[in-house]
Structure formats: structure tokens, C-alpha cells
Amino acid sequence: MKTLLLSIAILSSILVFAQDNGAITKLIIGLEKLALDKWNNGNPSGFLEISAKDVAYFDPMTDQRLDGIDKLTALYESIRGKIHAGKYDMINPKVQSVDNMAVLTYNLTTYVGDTLNKWNCTEVYRLEMDNKWKIIQTHWSMTKPNIK
């Protein structure tokens, strides 16, 4: 009987853990998609609103890692209104999480006119004191860039 109760207790805790991880996965992907929708309509505010003060940032156009929300804001404001993708697909999103940090990875395809662009993306989210998840690290790179 004791063994049965112990098994039920362990199973319950595994289920709760799995549920929690599932809930985090759903929430993180939802946050990312909302921000991507705005991004692909020329509006970087979605990503800026969910990025933390200490965000670290890489993309293929920066000379080195950018540190902090002020630098990221300056970069994003410089391209506000300039990016318009007719269609995008978040491919195979994966979330690996603990209670208060989660890493989201996915491939992204965007169509700007007839041009297909392929991206690799890593976002790290952290659960903040106000119970909101914020991005603390963004890494965008081109999938198999055609190098000179």
C-alpha cells in the first residue's frame, strides 16, 4: 500500500512537472508569435516590450554582441517600418525550461516579395519579479548563408 501511494505521489509530481513545462512551452511560443507578427509588419515594439533590461543580442549585421535594452531599442527603432514579410513560418519550435528560465529555438522562413529568407533563432526567456517572462538573449543567424 505504501509503495502504491508512493508511486502515485511520484507519478503526480511528474505529471505536475510535465504540465508546468507544457504550460511554459505554450506561453513562450505564444509570446514569440505575437512579437513576430508585429515584427513582420514593420513594428519592433512587440519584441522591445518583452525584452529585459539586460538583454544580450546577436544578429548577422552587428559587429559584436549588443548589450542592454537601450542599444537594442536604438537598433530596432532605426529599422521601424522597413521590414514587411508577406508570410512567415516558425518551424519546429522547441522549448527547454526550468521554473524561471526557458530557451526557445526554431527555424524561421520569411517571404519578402518572392524572396525566401531562412533563419536560425535562439531566444532565452527569464521569469521576472513581476511574474512576466522577458527575453534576456536573442540570437538571429542566417541558415547556411551563401558566403563570398
Q: Which residues bind its own copies (CB under 8 A)?
A: 54, 56, 58, 60-65, 67, 91-92, 94, 96, 98, 100-101, 103, 105-107, 120, 122, 124, 126, 136-137, 139, 141-148
Query: By the 8 A CB rule, do 50 and 134 touch?
Result: yes
Q: How far is the CB of 104 from its own copies (least distance, A)?
A: 9
Contacts of 34 (CB under 8 A, 6+ apart): 46
Q: How far is the CB of 76 from its own copies (least distance, A)?
A: 18
Measured from the CB atom, the residue of 76 and 106 that comes closer to its own copies is 106
Euclidean distance between CA atoms 11 and 46, whole angstroms: 39
The candidate with the shortest Cα–Cα distance to 137, out of 82, 46, 18, 55, is: 55
Query: By the 8 A CB rule, do 133 and 126 touch?
Result: yes
Q: How far is the CB of 52 from its own copies (least distance, A)?
A: 9
Give the total residue count for the chain.
148
Measured from the CB atom, the residue of 34 and 101 that comes closer to its own copies is 101
Measured from the CB atom, the residue of 35 and 102 that comes closer to its own copies is 102
Q: How far is the CB of 50 from its own copies (least distance, A)?
A: 16
Measured from the CB atom, the residue of 4 and 60 that comes closer to its own copies is 60
Q: What is the DSSP letter of 61?
A: T
